[in-house]
């Protein structure tokens, strides 16, 4: 009898312990995201640029680019730069990296235990393709610089990596796809036109095929065109096509993303008069099927420049573009450009922003959207009085009216109420439910271990009191029983 009581007491103590543990772990780690529009700059006296931002599996945001420590720079002063931010834009760590030349990192991808970043190193007119492996502590564990090449993009390729860029052969450049096993080149695929300088800007591995976009500059007439191709895993070209063949203005950059069997390409290019004079720089966003047939095209233009080179597609299929607009009607004249399009190319949002005070221009380079709809844009700002790039920046954007951690835009897409913290009334905010992966519209589906608001706090107290009372009752009975046994003895 006594043993059974003791067993019961231990069981209740265990339950209480577990209960307190779940409560502490659950409640104190959960905090509603603030309604923020925040910006953080990174840099010193020289030039600092972020080219790319992406989330790692560790919940951080990594920004890549370069840093120049001195105001007046000479060759070799630019170093590759990696900065890790949390989602509140606090810097977790930053690293610079140099091989004695001018280095920059341009794109990166997540591998199982490492981040692989690619870019270039410049030595006068010589270019090196740069590849860097970074471990989870932000330390560079291996690196390689491949002569006569430039690396523009990297993509996981099974256990290996696909790197895209260009390689120079006797002064001419060819499209260059490298298959890497670590830093070891396992295979490379070069293809080009023989009469042009060719560079791949972006590569994407999708359903067993390789898709890439680049540009070619024909040496005879300097005509520039955008080239897209689909290749087999072995490197055979399955189809290819050039875009804007009638066109010979310069191409600034092009990016490629595939989402649900559709290829999306952004192009930064010049628009010229018939006489060949520059009107402006403008951006196209074009959509193709997997056979390369054009589905739609949309152009964004301004009177001087509009670049929309930062492209991201979220899980709802919304296309985001971030970049820069230069327009003499704006004050300051150079601002951040941001647009959202639906899958049919309809613009659902289009805005210019000046996040810095004073005569400071803003150049957006890359954009990422988290699961709650917050947008993170990186780039660099420009002192417009002297026309010089100053600091790299990261900007977090998103309107969250009810402060439940989900932006108003994403509440619309999730179908939750943008003015109600807990749409389905199950005691868990819409934000917590989205982060925990439960249905914010189903009161019977809610997170099991994370507790959040006062209602639950009260419930926790009540259940706690009941459990403690039972424990005391059982203990008292045991003590009484023990004393009665003693009396009997």
Contact residues toward Ca ion (CB under 5 A) are: 400, 402, 404, 406, 416, 420, 422, 424, 426, 428, 430, 433, 442, 445-446
Closer CB to Ca ion, residue 336 or residue 451?
Answer: 451
Return the number of the residue (165 or 447) whose C-beta is nearest Ca ion: 447
Task: Find, among 301, 312, 207, the residue nearest to 257 by Cα.
Answer: 312
* Residues 27, 28, 30, 32, CA torsion sign: positive
**From the CB of residue 112, how many other CB atoms can be counted at a distance below 10 Å?**
7
Max Cα-Cα span within the chain: 116
- The whole-angstrom separation of Cα 384 and Cα 182 is 42
Interatomic CA distance for residues 232 and 420, integer angstroms: 50
d(CA 62, CA 43): 16
CA separation for the pair 212, 256 (Å, rounded): 7
- Pick the closest to residue 213 from 269, 146, 133 (CA basis): 269
Q: How far is the CB of 451 from Ca ion (least distance, A)?
A: 13
**Strands 102-110, 115-123: pairing kind:** antiparallel
Q: Is 290 exposed, middle or buried (0-12, 13-18, 19+ CB in 10 A)?
A: middle
* Cβ 116 vs Cβ 108: under 8 Å: yes
Task: Provide the minimum distance between the beta carbon of 54 and Ca ion in the complex, in angstroms, as a whole number.
Answer: 25
Sign of CA dihedral 289, 345, 61, 46: positive
Question: For residues 32 and 96, which CB has a smaller minimum distance to Ca ion in the complex?
Answer: 32
CA dihedral 123, 154, 259, 159 (to 10 degrees): 180
The one-character DSSP state at 325 is: E
Instruction: Produce one character per residue of 375-405: b if its CB has 16 or more CB atoms within 10 Å, e if not.
Output: bbbbbbbbeeeeeebbbbbbbbbbebebebb
Distances (CA, A) of 46 to 40, 355, 359, 388: 17, 20, 18, 10
Whether the CB-CB separation of 131 and 147 falls below 8 Å is answered with no
How many CA atoms, within 13 angstroms, populate the side-chain half-sphere of residue 129? 25
Q: How many CB atoms lie within 10 A of CB 60?
A: 18
Return the DSSP state at 43: -
Local structure of 229: helix, strand or coil: strand
Strand order in 375-383's β-sheet? 38-42, 388-397, 375-383, 360-369
The token pair that represents 231 in the structure block: 């290749």
Any idea what DSSP says for residue 209? Answer: E
Measured at CB, which residue is nearest to Ca ion? 430
Nearer to Ca ion, 192 or 447 (CB): 447
């Amino acid at each position: 009898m006594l043993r059974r009581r003791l067993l019961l007491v231990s069981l209740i103590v265990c339950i209480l312990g577990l209960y307190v543990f779940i409560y502490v772990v659950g409640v104190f780690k959960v905090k509603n995201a603030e309604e923020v529009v925040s910006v953080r700059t990174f840099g010193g006296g020289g030039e600092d640029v972020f080219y790319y931002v992406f989330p790692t599996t560790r919940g951080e945001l990594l920004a890549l680019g370069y840093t120049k420590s001195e105001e007046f720079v000479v060759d070799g002063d630019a170093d590759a730069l990696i900065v890790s931010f949390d989602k509140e834009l606090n810097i977790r760590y930053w690293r610079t990296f140099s091989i004695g030349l001018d280095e920059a990192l341009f794109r990166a991808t997540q591998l199982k235990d490492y981040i692989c970043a690619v870019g270039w190193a410049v030595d006068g007119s010589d270019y090196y393709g740069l590849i860097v492996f970074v471990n989870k502590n932000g330390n560079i564990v291996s690196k390689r610089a491949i002569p006569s090449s430039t690396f523009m993009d990297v993509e996981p390729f099974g256990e290996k990596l696909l790197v895209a860029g260009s390689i120079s052969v006797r002064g001419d450049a060819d499209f260059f796809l490298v298959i890497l096993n670590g830093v070891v080149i396992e295979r490379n695929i070069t293809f080009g036109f023989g009469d042009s300088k060719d560079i791949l800007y972006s590569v994407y591995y999708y359903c067993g095929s390789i898709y890439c976009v680049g540009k070619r500059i024909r040496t005879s007439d300097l005509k520039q065109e955008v080239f897209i191709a689909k290749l087999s895993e072995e490197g055979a070209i399955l189809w290819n096509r050039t875009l804007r063949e009638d066109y010979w203005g310069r191409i600034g950059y092009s990016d490629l993303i595939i989402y649900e069997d559709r290829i999306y390409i952004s192009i930064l290019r010049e628009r010229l008069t018939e006489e060949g004079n520059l009107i402006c720089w403008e951006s196209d966003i074009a959509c193709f099927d997997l056979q390369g047939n054009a589905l739609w095209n949309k152009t964004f233009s301004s009177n001087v420049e509009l670049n929309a080179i930062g492209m991201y597609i979220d899980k709802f299929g919304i296309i985001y573009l971030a970049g820069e607009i230069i327009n003499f009607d704006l004050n300051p004249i150079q601002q951040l450009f941001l647009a959202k399009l639906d899958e049919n190319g309809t613009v659902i949002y289009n805005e210019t922003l000046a996040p810095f005070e004073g005569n400071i221009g803003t150049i957006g380079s890359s954009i990422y959207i988290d699961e709650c709809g917050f947008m993170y844009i990186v780039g660099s700002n420009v002192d417009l009085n002297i026309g010089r790039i100053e600091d790299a920046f990261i900007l977090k954007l998103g309107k969250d009216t009810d402060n439940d951690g989900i932006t108003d835009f994403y509440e619309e897409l999730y179908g939750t109420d943008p003015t109600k913290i807990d749409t389905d009334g199950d005691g868990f905010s819409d934000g917590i439910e989205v982060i925990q992966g439960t249905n914010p519209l189903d009161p019977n589906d809610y997170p099991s271990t994370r507790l959040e608001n006062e209602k639950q706090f009260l419930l926790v107290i009540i259940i706690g009191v009941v459990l403690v009372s039972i424990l005391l009752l059982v203990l008292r009975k045991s003590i009484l029983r023990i004393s009665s046994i003693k009396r009997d003895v």
